[in-house]
Structures are given as C-alpha cells and as structure tokens.
Chain A
C-alpha cells in the first residue's frame, strides 16, 4: 500500500471542509472493508484519506414520527442488534445478517455498502423496497434523492467529489407488510450474492396483495425493481399458481450477466425462485 495522509475529523463541517479542499484527491473511509482491499492491491492509491468514524453526527439510528433514519456509519451488526429495525424492517436485518462474517459486519457500514455501489450489495435491495431516500451533504448544501437516483451503474453513484452521504431515511412500513430478503451465494457466509431479492407486500383482509415492491440485486448494472411483477401481484392472493406466474415474470424482468460465479441463465431462472422461496418461508412463519 502506498503512503497516504489520514484525516480523522470529529465534526461533519470539518469533514466537508477537508473534502472541498482536497477535492477529487481524497478517499472516504468508513468501515474500510471495501476501500482498504482496493488500496492494498493498488486499485486505488489516494494521497489523502478522510476517516469518518469519529464523526458522531453520522452515527445514529432513530425514529421520528413515522420515518426511520439511519446514519451512514451504522454497522451491519448494529442493524442486527437494533430492536427498532427488528420490529419494523426485519428484511433489512435479514439482509445485513448475510453480509460477510462477524468481523466484516462489525466494521462494514450501511453507508459504505451504498456508496460502494456494488450491484450485489446486500443492504441495497431492502432499502429500495422501503423507498429509502439518501441525504447528501457538501459545503454547497444538502440534497435528498430517492435511492434509485443515487446509483449510476456498477461502482458508480451520483456523489460529487466534495459530497458525503449523511443519512438514509424511509417511512416505517405501516401496517406491517409481508417481507423478506433472500440471497443465493456460493456458500452460507462470506459470499457475494449471485442474486438477491427484497420483497415488501401489503395484503388486505382477504389476503390479496394491495401493494407490492420487489427489488433484485446482482442481476443488472444496479439493483432493479421488478415493476411488472409487482403490478401483476396486486389484487391477487399468493397461491401456488400466482407465485409460479410471478416467478416466471421476474425471470423476464432481470438482465443478468454471466461471470465466473454463475451463468446468465442460472441467475435469470433462479432470481424467480427467490420469490417462491421467500414467500414460502413467510407463509410457514404465519402458520407457525
């Protein structure tokens, strides 16, 4: 690893000042589980590094009226241990539980997972279906974007060189919807998703879907919503036939690529299966 200068401010304002001053030269460090690997193998060689971990203003988790707000420095382990998130958004908890192993979850942050912008990032699909918004800040001011608008492509976000992600917020899903996160990796832990899925569905008294949101990761340049499948499911009960049809439909909505982890065909066909697997688990829980 090349030598670099490290700045560890405690105030957000100071951090934004530093970013402006070293505009374009500086790398941002949260848990470091993505960045340090790339620095060590020489993919990135920054002159200066901005360590966020001492900025308490970026480390929070709260519920205001009906919105939940997560600071970017919240680690995956903190998500797992949060009674609030276990209560309100089990799917986000399920997703964070699949990330890396304990060591990675203890260090890796939600903000880092988003800003890293991997199409396989496991915390991202849940935030898609929760209709999260990202707050970005710089010396020039703040802006708030829906999560879909945050990503450009693999590894690319809309963050300007002087900008930080400072918060992620989403409405508490009311009333409690059916929800799950499913992932297929090469093994049970410490494995990148071949495909993953987050699902949120509100049903009426008769068990018909009123509103559905489905997001998939690792099957397109960014996380994608399966909009047609969502529309199809509305007004229907999750019977075996409906689920089958919905699974088939998802396969036509994704645009995966083949790599050494999986072929394009496997990713496509299995992405539909995640819906079936996830709903089956939900139903099992319901019926005890």
Chain B
C-alpha cells in the first residue's frame, strides 16, 4: 500500500478550537438590528379543518409586526424533505393549510419585536376548528372507511392518498412461500419500533435577512443548504439567484435537519417586512413539530436448510409516517435495501410493505434511515433460527453473509423509492469483523458462562452483523473547489455540510494528502450557497465517500497545476517532480516552496490562479460492514437491563481520520443503545405527546453505558477516496438486535417491542413465569 502521511492520521478538528472556546459560530450567535422574533401557533387538534382564524386581538398587541396563516401565504404543495430533485417524497405539505393533521401541526406564525410579545400574540389567536375523525394506529389507516388525511387535490407523489398510502411495494424474487414450506428450519416474528427523536443539542433555528442587494439571506442550522435554497425559491416564487443559504456550525443533525422546517416562514417575514427574522424551536417544539424516527412493525420469516443455509427471507413492513410523507417511501425502501443483501445466499426473497399516514407527528430522516428498524427484525429472527437449530448464532451468520466479489439482486431492485443500482461488493471486512470482534469480546468463553447469577439476576450475550451504504448512487452529486493563495495555503470551498461530523477536517485531509502538505494549511468554507459549489448535503452516509471523491479530483488537478509551475521554474518535466510537506523537489534535490510558487503565479511570471473545481457522482454505494457483540445483565425482579460490555468491529474501508471515525461509531452506538433501552415519545389517546421533555424522555448518560471497545477493520474500497467508505450511520443499527439477542440468551425471551425499558422487560418476564 502507498504510504500516506495525512490520510489515516487523527488530525485535530479544524473547527475544534473555535467550538470549545465558544466563538460566535452557530446560527444563533448572531443578532441583527431590528430583528423580528417568530413564534408558531401549533394545532391543538389531531385532525381538523380550520373554519376561521381570528387574529384581531393578537394584532393589537404592541410590537406585533406580522401574522402569517393559510389565508395570507402562497399555497404551493411541496415536501419538507431536503432531497435531490425531483424529490422522492410526496408533495403533501403547504406553508399553512386549511387543515391540520396532527397535534403540533402549523397553524399560524407571529413575528414581533421581541419573543415575549410574539408568544403573547400566539396565545391570543383564536382558531375555530371543525374536528375530523383521526387515525392513531397505522393498521387503521388502510381500513375501508378510514378518514382520508390528505384529501387536498394538489397532492402529488403519494402512492394512494385516498387510502392513506404514501408508498406500497411488493418485491418478489423467486418463490418465498414454497421455499419456506420446504425449509428444514423456520423463524418468524413481528418486531415493533417506537417514535424517537434525534435530540440534537441545537434545536432547529433560522435567521433571515435581506442583503444590500435585496437578496434573501437564510442562515440556517441545516444539513442541506442547497436543497433548502431550491425549495425556498420554489415555495416563495423567488428566483434561486435571489436566495443565499448559509450554514454556520451546526449543533447536531442526525437526519432531523435534512428538512426545510422554518426557512419558509422566516423568509416570508423578511420579504414582507424587510426586517431580519428569527425562529428557534423550543425543546418541546423540537420533539413534537420537528421530525422523528419512523415507527415500524416488521414481520420477518426465514427459512433455512438442514445445514443452516438460508433459503428464503421475507420482510413485511408497516411504516407509520405520521401526518406527512417526508422521507416515507425512501426510508421504507432502505429498510429492505440496506438489510436483505447482507444474506445474499437466500435465493427466495420477498420485501413487501405499506407506508401510511396517521394523525401523529412526523417521522423523517433519522440516522440509520430505516435500516435500524429492519436490522432489529432481521437479526433477531436470525437468532431465533439459530436457537431452533441449536447452532451458535455467530456460525449461522458466517454461513450466510455476503462476501467480497459477490452481489445481491436487491441492489438493483431496491433504491431510493425506486429501482436501485447493480453493484458488486468490492471490499468486505465482515469476516474479520466477526473474527476480531468475537476474540476481543471472548464470545466462546462468555457463552459457556452460567446464565443465572444468584436468584434474581441473569446474564447473556448477543451479537449481530450489519451493513449500510455509502451515498445514493447515480442520484446525488458533490462538488468541491480548491484555490491556492500566494503563501501556499489553500481555501477549500465545499457544499459538503459539516454538521459536527468533522467532514471539513477529513475533506481537508484528503486534499492535503493529494497535494502533499499538512492539513493546517487549509481553510475550509462550508457551506454558503453563494460561494460553495453544489453538494447534496449531509445525509445518506455520503460525505466522506462522495464529497471526498470530488475533493480528491480537485486536489489532483491543483497538484498538476502546481507541478506545472514548478516545471517551468526548474525547466523540467512536471512528472519528474515531487511534493512533500508543501515543498516541491526535483530529482537533484532542489527545493521550491509552495509560497514561492504562489508568489510567482500571482505576481511574477505566467500569472494564473492555481485553482480547480471538480464534481463526483457515485456509481455504487459500497457498504461498510460491522459486527456487534454485547453482554447484558438483567435484574429479573425489576426488569432492569444493564449492558455490561459492548464490542464493535467495523469496516469503513480506510478511516481517513481514525479518531473522528471512532467518534462516529461511539456516537451512533450510544444513540442506538438509548433507542434500544429508553427513548420513546409517548402519546395520549388523542395524539398529544406526553413526554416532549428531558424529564420524561430519557437519553442515556455516560453512567448508563457499558464498557465499549471499538475495533477498526481496515479494507481498501477501490472506488472510495483513499479506500474510504462511510461510517456515520451503520453502527446505530446494532444495539437493538444485539441487546435483544443478549436478553434472549439470558432469559429465553425475545423482546420484540422497543425500547426494552425495565417495565417492558419485567412484564415479559412475568408473562413467561
């Protein structure tokens, strides 16, 4: 392997010092004279028509500048999903509608001189509702006489809105029924996941203003600045030329900010009043009116021959997309496309399901993007199968998982809400993940330990294996622009959207490695739609892999230009020159610094700007792989589940920055463990969120975590920049099945409903007594 000096090093995050010293870097670290403060009136009804809105009293409060509602805003059907164009999500939303579809839906917005006045005015708005029957259970959505949640005539792109269906698919490969009937061993079950929120530290926030040319500037905590620009422009009938979206530092997204949630309202306020405007969601609003994870009910059936070879797999999904279909079909497709190819030996596969509207808050993109739910069902079913066969679950997986050089028919059949792209797996470290993981975890030893500890505790071990993807092939594009200053430093302009992930740093590393100088010589600008080249944004595990390719290409071109200048200087062929640590050497060992090259090309001879742009479109979505192992202890009398030990081995190709890769693994793991054991948004029978706060919605603290060991397993992905694949999402999928399987091992009980709270486990134990 070629020696690398920058890639593979845990370079400090470029934005680290500014972040930890509290520099003014986030959206809200910014205040403009005359700024208006917006507050939104949210629906108190689950499903109702708005008969009348009376703003008379509200308008008369001092300091109220603007009240927006369905009667005074443009009516344009759109999707809040920040996806490529045309979006695969249905156009079923309006800035404000005459109808509300969940408790927490938008009704009106007030902009005032200060926040208190805005809130007082919101409280004074009188809304007359005509209540409609509502749907809270996804099973009821498709019943014959179910109320129709989206009866607006403008709706486009939903499968069958008349039956509350956002998406429906029935994909068959081979003959699952027959194969299942003939299988020696079968496993079957239905697994259920819950509503969960991303809980980013920074809630959604937007500030808008007009610049000196009367262009609209939108400063937003977003994962998708370019999609935001396009969607705002279309919604407000404003040329794209007139809109600029700036993404400052973002305090976490996890998918929740792949949405256009507040930009339209602030923009309208600024356009109408010509004053700056700001809206920030409170924590409660973030829980209820931002986005959630899709609750799913997934039935899996597996069939294997006597040797444990999988013959048939069936996955039936019922996904609840709440009141709006944002990301509904794509998340659902991913539930199959990111899980089923893992076991490509099964020749009979069926993936079938519905995505339905209900009158509940709105799930959208959430790290894992449907795979999390799918793996819960699939990997628990695998353990059930192993138990029936009396086989080590690890062995069962080894017999069946996909390997390098192999493919799966699923890759081409299932894409982003449509057909996918055929691909062969060119790098797969799953074998080694399993091998190294089981050794570090002491799998064989731990499986021999007694399950019972005293009269009231039990211990068990579980595992699971996973894959994800890297980018959306042949859909999403990323571009980068790289420019050299006369001192030999660089400006790297990126559309790639660092949302705390560290992508600015790793993309600079890729450029630094390619040209041959330290990362510190790069200043990264991401993202500002006026200056950054296009990039789809931060989602689909694509930044390192896809944006990285764009940066790599741009850096190669810049390197060529630098060598060209140096060649003229030395009077030699550029190909005989080398760059090392920012210095060009010729074969005789003569040196030329990048600074000398910079001054020469700016001012002295053959003047030219050393600079290049490049873009990348991926042709494949190479999966990262991972194996998870956990040991848990269960208090049999209280149902408390304590994860003791967690080992994760992960193949993300070459980790450009091992420490940041580790951070992604840890973060997604902790997120996943919280989702498995604790996090759940609950609703009353009338669709009111019961725990939209940190008092009763518990994310885990460091005290609740097991000992965690992360084992990097390097492979070389030939299509990735410096062999890299993705790492951001995959590991969130592990804890649900891994912990469930460990509980199964300890108690013989398969927990099929998440989260595994003490009380739920306690109930399952009682039922079993």
Q: Check A260–B638 contact: CB distance below 8 A.
A: no
Q: Is B18 an interface residue (CB 8 A)?
A: no
A-side contacts of B50, CB under 8 Å: none
Q: Is B701 an interface residue (CB 8 A)?
A: yes
Given contacts A187-B700, A276-B456, contact A270 B678 (CB under 8 A): no
A-side contacts of B444, CB under 8 Å: none
Q: Check A273–B700 contact: CB distance below 8 A.
A: no
Q: Check A266–B762 contact: CB distance below 8 A.
A: yes
Q: Is B130 an interface residue (CB 8 A)?
A: no
The 8 Å CB contact of B638, one of A187, A261, A270, is A270
B-side contacts of A280, CB under 8 Å: 454, 456
Q: Check B637–A273 contact: CB distance below 8 A.
A: yes
Q: Is A263 an interface residue (CB 8 A)?
A: yes
Q: Check B698–A186 contact: CB distance below 8 A.
A: yes
Q: Is A39 an interface residue (CB 8 A)?
A: no
Q: Is A189 an interface residue (CB 8 A)?
A: yes
How many A-B contacts at CB < 8 Å in the complex? Answer: 48
Given contacts A260-B682, A260-B691, contact A184 B640 (CB under 8 A): yes
Q: In the complex, what's the smallest C-beta–C-beta distance from A275 to chain B, in angstroms? A: 11
| Separation of A187 and B640 alpha carbons in the complex (Å) | 10
Q: Check A184–B758 contact: CB distance below 8 A.
A: yes
| Separation of A262 and B762 alpha carbons in the complex (Å) | 12
Q: Which residue of A lies closest to B696 (CB)?
A: A260
A-side contacts of B701, CB under 8 Å: 101, 187-190
Given contacts A187-B678, A260-B690, contact A270 B695 (CB under 8 A): no
Q: Check B759–A266 contact: CB distance below 8 A.
A: yes
| Separation of A276 and B456 alpha carbons in the complex (Å) | 10
Mask of B315-329 contacts with A, CB within 8 angstroms, 1/0: 000000000000000
Q: Which residue of B lies closest to A190 (CB)?
A: B701
Given contacts A261-B696, A276-B637, contact A187 B704 (CB under 8 A): yes
Q: Check B759–A263 contact: CB distance below 8 A.
A: yes
Range for the number of chain B residues in contact with chain A: 20 to 34
| Separation of A74 and B643 alpha carbons in the complex (Å) | 35
Q: Is B590 an interface residue (CB 8 A)?
A: no
Q: Which residue of B lies closest to A247 (CB)?
A: B637
Q: Check B703–A188 contact: CB distance below 8 A.
A: yes
**B interface, by DSSP: helix, strand, loop or mixed?**
loop
CB proximity to B under 8 Å, residues A231-288: 240, 260-263, 266, 269-270, 273, 276-277, 280
Q: Is A191 an interface residue (CB 8 A)?
A: yes
CB proximity to A under 8 Å, residues B631-653: 635, 637-638, 640
| Separation of A269 and B456 alpha carbons in the complex (Å) | 14
| Separation of A270 and B762 alpha carbons in the complex (Å) | 10
Most chain A CB atoms below 10 A, which of B640, B690, B759: B759
Q: Check B759–A192 contact: CB distance below 8 A.
A: no
Q: Check B637–A192 contact: CB distance below 8 A.
A: no
Q: In the complex, what's the smallest C-beta–C-beta distance from B514 to chain A, in angstroms? A: 45
| Separation of A186 and B694 alpha carbons in the complex (Å) | 11
Q: In the complex, what's the smallest C-beta–C-beta distance from A246 to chain B, in angstroms? A: 14
A-side contacts of B638, CB under 8 Å: 184, 270, 273, 277
Mask of A92-103 contacts with B, CB within 8 angstroms, 1/0: 000000000100
CB proximity to A under 8 Å, residues B579-612: none
Q: Check B637–A270 contact: CB distance below 8 A.
A: yes
The 8 Å CB contact of A262, one of B635, B698, B759, is B759
| Separation of A276 and B691 alpha carbons in the complex (Å) | 31
Q: Check A189–B703 contact: CB distance below 8 A.
A: yes
| Separation of A240 and B454 alpha carbons in the complex (Å) | 12
Most chain A CB atoms below 10 A, which of B635, B637, B678: B637
Q: Which residue of A lies closest to B455 (CB)?
A: A240
Q: In the complex, what's the smallest C-beta–C-beta distance from A4 to chain B, in angstroms? A: 15
| Separation of A112 and B698 alpha carbons in the complex (Å) | 24
Given contacts A273-B637, A273-B638, contact A186 B690 (CB under 8 A): no
Q: Which residue of A lies closest to B640 (CB)?
A: A184
| Separation of A188 and B763 alpha carbons in the complex (Å) | 21
| Separation of A277 and B454 alpha carbons in the complex (Å) | 12
A-side contacts of B678, CB under 8 Å: 186-187
| Separation of A260 and B688 alpha carbons in the complex (Å) | 13
| Separation of A263 and B762 alpha carbons in the complex (Å) | 12
| Separation of A273 and B640 alpha carbons in the complex (Å) | 12
Q: Which residue of A lies closest to B680 (CB)?
A: A260
B-side contacts of A101, CB under 8 Å: 701
CB proximity to B under 8 Å, residues A183-203: 184, 186-192
| Separation of A188 and B705 alpha carbons in the complex (Å) | 10
Mask of A105-135 contacts with B, CB within 8 angstroms, 1/0: 0000000000000000000000000000000
Q: In the complex, what's the smallest C-beta–C-beta distance from A87 to chain B, in angstroms? A: 26
| Separation of A259 and B757 alpha carbons in the complex (Å) | 15
| Separation of A190 and B762 alpha carbons in the complex (Å) | 22
| Separation of A273 and B704 alpha carbons in the complex (Å) | 21
A-side contacts of B454, CB under 8 Å: 280
Mask of B650-664 contacts with A, CB within 8 angstroms, 1/0: 000000000000000
| Separation of A266 and B763 alpha carbons in the complex (Å) | 9
B-side contacts of A261, CB under 8 Å: 696
Mask of B702-722 contacts with A, CB within 8 angstroms, 1/0: 011000000000000000000
| Separation of A184 and B640 alpha carbons in the complex (Å) | 9
| Separation of A263 and B690 alpha carbons in the complex (Å) | 14
A-side contacts of B757, CB under 8 Å: 186
| Separation of A188 and B703 alpha carbons in the complex (Å) | 6
B-side contacts of A189, CB under 8 Å: 701, 703-704
B-side contacts of A240, CB under 8 Å: 455
Given contacts A263-B759, A273-B637, contact A187 B456 (CB under 8 A): no
Q: Which residue of B lies closest to A37 (CB)?
A: B695
| Separation of A184 and B637 alpha carbons in the complex (Å) | 12
Mask of B408-422 contacts with A, CB within 8 angstroms, 1/0: 000000000000000
A-side contacts of B690, CB under 8 Å: 260
CB proximity to A under 8 Å, residues B718-769: 757-759, 762-763
A-side contacts of B698, CB under 8 Å: 186-187, 191
Q: In the complex, what's the smallest C-beta–C-beta distance from A180 to chain B, in angstroms? A: 15
Q: In the complex, what's the smallest C-beta–C-beta distance from B243 to chain A, in angstroms? A: 36
A-side contacts of B704, CB under 8 Å: 187-189
| Separation of A270 and B678 alpha carbons in the complex (Å) | 18
B-side contacts of A191, CB under 8 Å: 698
Q: Which residue of B lies closest to A274 (CB)?
A: B638
B-side contacts of A266, CB under 8 Å: 758-759, 762-763
| Separation of A147 and B628 alpha carbons in the complex (Å) | 51
| Separation of A233 and B701 alpha carbons in the complex (Å) | 38
B-side contacts of A184, CB under 8 Å: 638, 640, 758
| Separation of A189 and B701 alpha carbons in the complex (Å) | 7
A-side contacts of B759, CB under 8 Å: 262-263, 266
A-side contacts of B456, CB under 8 Å: 276, 280
| Separation of A269 and B696 alpha carbons in the complex (Å) | 21
B-side contacts of A273, CB under 8 Å: 637-638
| Separation of A18 and B679 alpha carbons in the complex (Å) | 46
CB proximity to B under 8 Å, residues A67-94: none
Q: In the complex, what's the smallest C-beta–C-beta distance from A194 to chain B, in angstroms? A: 8
| Separation of A210 and B757 alpha carbons in the complex (Å) | 38
| Separation of A117 and B704 alpha carbons in the complex (Å) | 28
B-side contacts of A188, CB under 8 Å: 701, 703-704
Mask of B432-467 contacts with A, CB within 8 angstroms, 1/0: 000000000000000000000011100000000000
Q: Which residues of A contact B (CB under 8 A)?
A: 101, 184, 186-192, 240, 260-263, 266, 269-270, 273, 276-277, 280
Q: List 26 A-B contacts (CB under 8 A).
A: A184-B758, A186-B698, A186-B757, A187-B678, A187-B698, A187-B703, A188-B701, A188-B704, A189-B703, A190-B701, A191-B698, A192-B695, A260-B682, A260-B691, A262-B759, A266-B759, A266-B762, A266-B763, A270-B637, A270-B638, A270-B762, A273-B637, A273-B638, A276-B637, A277-B638, A280-B456
With A187-B701, A188-B704, A189-B704 known, 14 other A-B pairs at CB within 8 A are A184-B640, A186-B698, A186-B757, A189-B701, A189-B703, A191-B698, A240-B455, A260-B690, A263-B759, A270-B637, A270-B638, A273-B638, A277-B635, A280-B454
4 smallest CB-CB distances across A and B, nearest first, come from: A188-B703, A273-B637, A186-B698, A266-B759
